[in-house]
Structure 1
Amino acid sequence: MNDVQLGGTRIIPVVALPDAGLALDLGQALWAGGIRTIEITLRTPAALAAIATLAEQSDLLVGAGTVLTAEQVELAVEAGAKYILSPGFSSTVVRRCQEVGVPVIPGIATATELQAALEAGVTTVKFFPAEQLGGPAGIRALSGPFGQVKFVPTGGVSLANLAGYLAEPAVLAVGASWLAAPDLLASGDFAEITRRSTAAVEVAAR
């Protein structure tokens, strides 16, 4: 991941956190389940504060997701994000990440976008939305002509199909939105978040 290590796990929880006050409990729940990194998406007003809290007070490697502009890159990095993910490929976002020295994983859906990412110096990309783009078979198709690329499939990945994605040699890690699903955050069910995390880490370790 552009020299970012994921702390020994291939699972990246993708979280839209509605309240920054939940950040520490969430971080503890994920850590207890064996997760060592997290992607906080910039989809809520609480996102930057949550990134700052986790970056300062947890051992998780914190990334910022759904980053769409150069300004958001700067805000996320200032908050403590150690890597950046975006749903699509933006040369402006990639360039700003490179300028500030933070690893970036832009989203791609086509060979054309993947080639643009390579021309921008990026060799790890987010494959999004993964299931709708053909899942593991779609990744295999793209990795044929682009053998140097690593993929982070996100979108439609679940515990049921996780093993199939991780079995692909070109897959670096997966985006796991089911670990801290909105209903679990709303109800404060951190025990279930830990249980789901443990199950996912067990699959990844096989």
Structure 2
Amino acid sequence: MTAATAGTAASARTADAAGATSAAGTRTPPLRELLAKFGVVPVVAVSSADEGLRLGEALLRGGLPVVEITFRTDAAAAAIRAVAAELPELLVGAGTLLSEASVDAAVDAGAAFGVAPGLRPPVVERAAALGLPFAPGIATPSELERGLSLGLDFFKLFPAEPIGGLRLIDALAGPYPSAGFMPTGGIRPELLADYLARPSVAACGGTWIAPTALIAAGDFDEIRQRAAASVARIGAIRETHRKEHRNGA
């Protein structure tokens, strides 16, 4: 589906909770469910389509088939387009979607999901009209309530660590039990276990797997190793959680 064939924004109230419908009529699982399969989402910025492809290949070799390519560079749309076309096994999302135009560009490029650092209703509505699973950013209860009023139930918590991290998530869980989160911002690998122990957390966004410096240096083998280490860490965390659940912990 392209921006030129967008429908109305009436689906904004159900796009995230119920999933999106593609042009072929198939249902896309809700974004919360999609990202929960991975537990961690690499958040990256690339300077060219080729860089995006090499990065995607490194993540796949490391066993982590998901990435959020941010619209912080002019190459974002081209990189998403290349990855979506040439690495279909990689779930590629678009981050830092700050305007309706950036949503249009992300969808035209083939992004499977979208993320924003903040919540702007016109951007939410545009994503819904285009059938793009979308997680806007929130940092306060008021912003969360605004998102819930738009029919969303999954959000980027940003910047997670500076605004309270686990304490904020725990505080929000009581009054807003239906809300799910992808905490991003200041997340370190050693914090993953505590974040993923929270039922409302589907996955954490992180830059440590593929930081800009490693991408610019072309050190994609190090990125592969970091991806593999993250996959192993997530697997160990989930096994621990399963054992605790079986033991009634």
Give the TM-score normalised by the residue count of structure 2. Answer: 0.80
What is the number of equivalent residue pairs in this alignment? 206
Are 2:86 and 1:90 equivalent residues in the alignment? no
Q: Which amino acid aligns with 2:100?
A: A
Q: Deviations over 1:32-65 (max 9, x none)?
A: 1121211000000110000000100111111100
Identity, % of aligned pairs?
A: 45
Worse-superposed segment, 108-117 or 53-62: 53-62
* Unaligned 5+ runs, structure 2: 1-15, 20-29, 238-249
1:40 to 69, 83, 86: 69
Are 2:174 and 1:136 equivalent residues in the alignment? no
More helix by share: 2
Are 2:62 and 1:30 equivalent residues in the alignment? no
* Aligned partners of 2:69 and 2:94 also within 8 Å: yes
CA separation in 1, counterparts of 2:37 and 2:165?
23
Partner of 1:169: 199
* Unaligned 5+ runs, structure 1: none
Partner of 2:216: 186
Are 2:160 and 1:118 equivalent residues in the alignment? no
Worse-superposed segment, 81-90 or 16-25: 16-25
Q: How far 1:180 moved relative to its partner?
A: 0.6
Are 2:227 and 1:204 equivalent residues in the alignment? no
* Aligned partners of 2:36 and 2:202 also within 8 Å: no
Partner of 2:91: 61
Q: Which amino acid aligns with 1:57?
A: E
Q: How far 1:7 moved relative to its partner?
A: 8.1
* Aligned partners of 2:35 and 2:202 also within 8 Å: no
Q: How far 1:172 moved relative to its partner?
A: 0.6
1:145 to 175, 188, 193: 175
Give the TM-score normalised by the residue count of structure 1. Answer: 0.96
- RMSD of aligned C-alpha atoms? 1.2
The runs of at least 4 consecutive aligned structure 1 residues that moved more than 4 Å come to: none
